[in-house]
Structures are given as C-alpha cells and as structure tokens.
Amino acid sequence: MAETFTFELVSPERLVFSAEVRSVVVPGTDGEFEILAGHSPFLSTIRPGILKLTTAGGEEKKIYVRGGFADANAAGLTLLAEEALPFEQLTRDQIGDAVAKAEAAVKVANDDDSRYRAETLVSQLKEVAALVA
C-alpha cells in the first residue's frame, strides 16, 4: 500500500476536506506541483484551478480552489484556499460570474501591476471554465 499523509483543505467558511491521502496535485502560482508522503517542507501560493487528490483508499477527487496558500511540512499538507468547492458542484454560472468580476477589475485597474494580476486571474478562470460541463 502506498504511503499516506494528512491533508487538510480549509476555506474561510469551513473545513472542506480532511483525510489521509496518497497524493495531492496543487495548482501553484508557478505551475502545478504534487505532494506525496515525506515531501520536503514547502510553502507556495496557489492560483485558481482544480486540485486533484488520491485518498488512502485510492479514490480520486477534484476540488476547485481559488487562490490561497499551500504548506507542506512533517505533519502533512494544509491548504488555505480563498474559496473551495467540490468540482462536481461547480457550475458554469459560478465560473462565468467570477470571470465577469475579474474582467471588470481589469477595466478599473489603475496601475500596470493591478491590471496584470486581474488579466492573469481572467486567464486562469477561463482555463477552469473550459473544464466545467
């Protein structure tokens, strides 16, 4: 049996997921990364995207996350997400609304950095929208 570690996904509203897992693939700001048991300590920001995990029992799950931080340490992996929702509960309308808000932020951005961040968010959310049925 594959080694497992503790994974907790927390949003501002609640504890979204907590269990022993075999692996977690996280949409990091600089690209996806995978955490396995015994991973070196690691801290990263995350971008909007689909988190993929494999439970200790081998079940695969997908969870939409929108920004936050991932902290891998000796105790396991903790992910603090701005928003988290099981992928199967995510709707086109929800993502469409998020894209519209991000596009509005591009229009009112008052400096290059703000505009760049808003444009990047639009792009990332459109990637997620392409995955939603």
pLDDT, tens only, 48-72: 999 999 999 999 999 999 889 999 9
**CB within 8 Å of 63: residues ≥ 6 apart:** 9, 16, 17, 50, 51, 53, 84, 85, 86, 87
Q: Is 35 helix (H, G, I), strand (E, B) or coil?
A: strand
Weakly modelled stretches of the chain, pLDDT under 50: none
Q: pLDDT at position 133, please?
A: 65
* Entry pTM: 0.84
Pick from 76, 67, 87, 91: which is nearest to 12 by CA? 67
Contact between residue 58 and residue 23 where contact means Cβ atoms under 8 Å apart: no
